Amino acid sequence: MTTPHTRCYRDGDLVAEGFSLGEVSEHLQGGGLVWVDLCPPDPEHLQLVAGELGLHSLAVADAMSDRQRPKFSRYAGHDFLTVYAVELDVGTGALVTSEIAAFVTPTALVTVRKDDGFALEGLLERWDTHVELTEHGVGALVHGLLDHVVDGHFDAVQALDDQIEDLEDLLFDDRPHDKDVQRRSFELRKSLVHLRRVVLPMREVLNTLMRRDVGLVPPELTPWFQDVYDHVLRATEWTESLRDLVATIVETNLTIQGNRLNIITKKVTSWAAIIAVPTAITGFYGQNLPYPGFGAVSGFVTSTALIVILSAGLFVAFRRREWL
């Protein structure tokens, strides 16, 4: 059983860390702000926290289940948040996601992670860097969490953009890489679709929790949340443009294959026309009938000259038309 991570802030300062779940209520007294992290979500630990903070059973069930969509839900006494941290596997082009559920009460933030895909080091560093925000309540902790998650979305989009640029170079390489382009295009397009499912709902999440009637974001934190919202919009637009770009690459690859086939067809047809000339001449001179030069050296010279001249003429004509 993994030991939960815990922290307590008081007046913006970190006053306790690593305490047990049974001590959560004690640290909440006197204006304390508590953060609890459960990974993986042990049912016993989660039920203990739910009893301490009065969490709704439906929200607890959502936190324990997998494949929830990114959302922000309101319950009596607390809010429930689901987001996804993402990371791109550069080797395979697959998008790796890590689901994060969060219970937000007026004095506590409880994060539930299904796996270690979302590292806490970056989140804790973000909170410790902006200590001046913590005095504004639990909204500061939520901001740090969302800001860190959205930055991960940005990193994934940037990595996908770099992969698509490499794919473009492969597409216009002098040597054909049709199979590699097709396989990589499919992998990147699949990852972009997956990323879109994670990033697109974040606009609704940020819009909802920033509403004044929710009361989660005080005026002092509004510019910080607006900055996160702007990043969400940019990540969404970037994802959409990359999806269109991958679709264009697939279409371009098919067009290049068609053009390459036309060039090959022209070359084969041109060489067939050139080969037809000596075939026709030798077939004519091979007839078992008397003709001018029959059985004489002059006939051999004439047929050879015709073959060379006509074949050379066709070769030059096709070469000028760039068929060869």
Q: Which region among 52-61, 120-129, 182-191, 252-261 has the lowest average model confidence (pLDDT)?
A: 252-261
Please say whether the beta carbons of 86 and 198 come within 8 A. yes
Give me the sheet containing 13-17, strands edge to edge: 13-17, 5-10, 32-38, 108-113, 95-105, 78-88, 71-75
Query: Looking at residue 296, what is its pLDDT?
Result: 73
Q: Which structure tokens are listed for 198?
A: 């994670």
Q: In the predicted model, is pLDDT for residue 268 greater than 70?
A: yes
The per-residue pLDDT for 101 is 94
Beta bridge partners of 13: 10
Instruction: Judge whether residue 202 has pLDDT over 90.
Output: yes
* C-beta separation of 299 from 293 below 8 A: yes
Work out the angle between the directed axes of helices 138-171 and 202-209 (0-180°, nearest 10): 160
Answer for the pair 281, 303: CB distance below 8 angstroms, yes or no: yes
In this structure, are residues 171 and 249 in contact, taking their beta carbons and an 8 Å threshold? yes
Write the DSSP symbol of residue 220. G
- Measuring CA to CA, which residue among 199, 225, 230, 201 is closest to residue 212? 225
pTM (global) more than 0.75:
yes
Q: Helix or strand or coil: residue 200?
A: coil
Q: What is the mean pLDDT of residues 243-268?
A: 82
Q: At a CB cut-off of 8 Å and minimum separation 6, what does 33 contact?
A: 8, 9, 10, 107, 108, 134, 137, 138, 141
Give start and end residues of each alpha helix (H) in 6-93: 24-28, 43-53, 57-64
Q: Is residue 12 predicted with pLDDT exceeding 90?
A: no
- 10-46 in b/e form (b: 16+ CB < 10 A) is beeebeeeebebeebeebbeeebbbbbbbbebeeebb
Q: What percentage of the chain carries pLDDT values higher than 90?
A: 39
Q: Where in the chain is the domain with CATH 1.20.58.340?
A: 67-101+112-256
Q: What angle do CA 291, 294, 296 make, to 5 degrees?
A: 150
Helical H segments across the chain, by residue range: 24-28, 43-53, 57-64, 120-129, 131-134, 138-171, 178-199, 202-209, 222-285, 297-320
Task: Reply yes or no on whether the pLDDT at 242 is more than 80.
Answer: yes
Tens digits of per-residue pLDDT, 54-109? 899 999 999 988 888 899 999 998 999 999 999 988 888 889 999 999 999 999 99
Torsion sign over Cα 110, 113, 118, 120: positive
pLDDT tens-digit readout, 125-150: 989 888 889 888 899 999 999 999 99
Distances (CA, A) of 275 to 49, 67, 268, 322: 86, 65, 10, 18
Three-class SS of residue 254? helix
Contact 99, 68 (CB under 8 A): yes
In the CATH scheme, what architecture does the domain 67-101+112-256 have? Up-down Bundle (1.20)
Range with the poorest average pLDDT among 148-157, 162-171, 260-269:
260-269
**Where does the pLDDT of residue 200 fall: very low under 50, low under 70, confident under 90, or very high at 90 and above?**
very high
pLDDT of 291: 67
293 class by beta-carbon count within 10 Å (0-12 exposed, 13-18 middle, 19+ buried): middle
